Amino acid sequence: MVYHNKLGTQGERMQRVRTIAHGIAVALGDTAILGQVDTAARLAKTDLLTDMVGEFPELQGIMGGYYARHDGLGEEVAQAIEDHYKPRFAGDALPRNRAGTILALADKLETLVGMFGIGNLPTGDKDPFALRRHGLGVTRMLVERALPLAHAALTQIALAAFAPGLLQDPSQALGDFLVDRLKGYLKDGGASPSEVDAVIHTPTLRDWASIPKRLAAIRAFAALPQAPALAAANKRIGNILKKAQEVDPHVSELLLQGLQKLRCTRMQRIAPEPMRSSNRVTTLALCRPLPHCANRSTLFRGRHGQCRGTGPAAEPPGLAAMPA
């Protein structure tokens, strides 16, 4: 059975899906279910040759699950075969077990990498191979199943399953495509454009498993009264650093006096906390006193030790309550 004239037969595609599924299972550390994953991948498309699926195409996968149960392959394998097309549409359920999730990812990634690799991209309202649906399915499984897998790494696992020279490297185009699916998915879930940008463009985002917690942290912090001041301070510092040449980041204590020295000491103590904290709401809350430390009217003093702003420098709210 021919799958695509540039990508070979369904048998060749099945072997690629097996290879991709194996790579994903190893990357997840799920070596205990490698046998189930491989069996399900090997048999997932066999029901396409049956008269039942030929007459009722909407039963593909479903009939494969029935056949697997009839042949005594076990419920885990049967569910994986039945679920590997999921999610079939927006809002559809995800695969029920781990083997099914791995197989569904492998099946969709094989299609995406193969089609992008031969230049068969969706354009306008034309998407004959349902690549947008496949991309959304990959996105949902990575986020909702909290899989610690980077989409770029998955692309490379899938690309390695194809014969050398068969495809052009689709990494950049497919990466942008998947990020667009992620943005749409998050916005459909109620996230604002600014929240989406803040979450997906952070340099520390290695995979998409942490996105729900990051969104929750951003929303919780945005509700705090100190949030606007911190955002303004962060923007101001970022603009300064863009124009600055490379400088020594260390602060000389000889330049600090009184309250300035206290602020500097406390900033140095709390600054490492965001890197260690696994609770992102707590992490952002630790930053609440920092806008006051970045405010030039209280931090930068003239040569006579007086504030350049109006009035004497006061201990910022929240800073006094922090541990010394």
The enclosing domain of 183 has a CATH number of: 1.10.3210
With 50 as the cut, is the pLDDT of residue 296 above it?
Answer: no
Q: Can you give the residue range of the structural domain that contains 179?
A: 2-209
Same domain, residue pair 11 and 155: yes
Instruction: Report the distance separating Cα 15 and Cα 41, nearest Å.
Output: 8
The CA-based angle 141-168-48, given to 5 degrees, is 55
Is the confidence at residue 10, as pLDDT, over 80? yes
Mean pLDDT, range 216-242, rounded to an integer: 86
177 and 46 in one domain? yes
231 in the same domain as 191? no
Q: What is the mean pLDDT of residues 130-138?
A: 95
Query: Residue 161 half-sphere exposure, CB side, CA atoms within 13 Å?
Result: 26
- Please give the mean pLDDT across all residues of the chain: 83
Predicted local distance difference test score (pLDDT) of residue 124: 82
Long-range contacts of 278-286 (CB under 8 A, 24+ apart): 280/210, 280/213, 280/214, 280/216, 280/217, 281/216, 281/217, 281/220, 281/221, 283/217, 284/217, 284/218, 284/220, 284/221, 285/221, 285/224
**E strand or H helix at 261, and its extent?**
helix 259-270
Same-domain check for residues 61 and 172: yes
67 CB neighbour count, 10 Å cutoff: 17
Which residues are CB-neighbours of 224 under 8 A, at least 6 positions away? 285, 288
Residue 285 contacts by C-beta under 8 Å, 6 or more apart in sequence?
Answer: 221, 224
Same domain for 270 and 198, yes or no, is: no
Least reliable range by pLDDT among 20-29, 101-110, 125-134, 140-149: 125-134
Would you say residue 247 lies in a domain? no
The predicted-structure confidence for 84-119, as pLDDT tens digits, reads as follows 999 998 889 999 999 999 999 999 999 999 999 999
Question: Is the pLDDT reported for residue 270 higher than 90?
Answer: no
User: Which residue carries 């599924």 as its tokens?
Assistant: 21
Question: Residues 66-85: what's their mean pLDDT?
Answer: 96
Q: Summarize the confidence of residues 235-264 as an average pLDDT.
A: 75
Domain count, the chain: 2
Question: How many other CB atoms are there within 10 angstroms of residue 322's CB atom?
Answer: 13
Distance CA 277, CA 257 (A): 31
Size (the chain), residues: 324
Statement to judge: residues 45 and 178 lie in one domain = yes
Quote the pTM value. 0.79
**Within a domain: residue 248?**
no
Residues 85 and 110 in one domain: yes
Task: Dump pLDDT digits (tens) for 22-40.
Answer: 999 999 999 999 999 999 9
- Which residues, including other chains, have CB under 8 Å from residue 39's CB and lie 6 or more apart? 73, 77
Question: 287 pLDDT exceeds 80?
Answer: no
The span from the CA of 259 to the CA of 315, in Å, is 8
In this structure, are 121 and 178 located in the same domain? yes
Of 66-75, 80-89, 159-168, 310-319, where does mean pLDDT reach its minimum?
310-319
Average of per-residue pLDDT across 124-142: 93
Spatial separation of the C-alpha atoms in residues 22 and 24, rounded to whole Å: 6
The reply to whether 233 falls in a domain is: yes
The more confidently predicted of residues 322 and 60 is 60
Are 203 and 233 part of one and the same domain?
no
Q: Tell me the residue type at 172.
A: Q
Predicted local distance difference test score (pLDDT) of residue 202:
82
Prior bond of 193 cis (ω within 30°):
no
Q: How confident is the model at residue 309 (pLDDT cuts 50, 70, 90)?
A: very low
pLDDT at 318: 41
Mean pLDDT value of segment 250-264: 70
Please tell me the distance from the alpha carbon of residue 238 to that of residue 235, in angstroms, as a whole number.
5
* 151 and 229 within one domain: no
pLDDT in tens, 168-201: 999 999 999 999 999 999 999 999 999 999 899 8
Q: Is the domain of 230 the same as that of 187?
A: no
Predicted pLDDT of residue 160: 96
Residues 275 and 188 in one domain: no
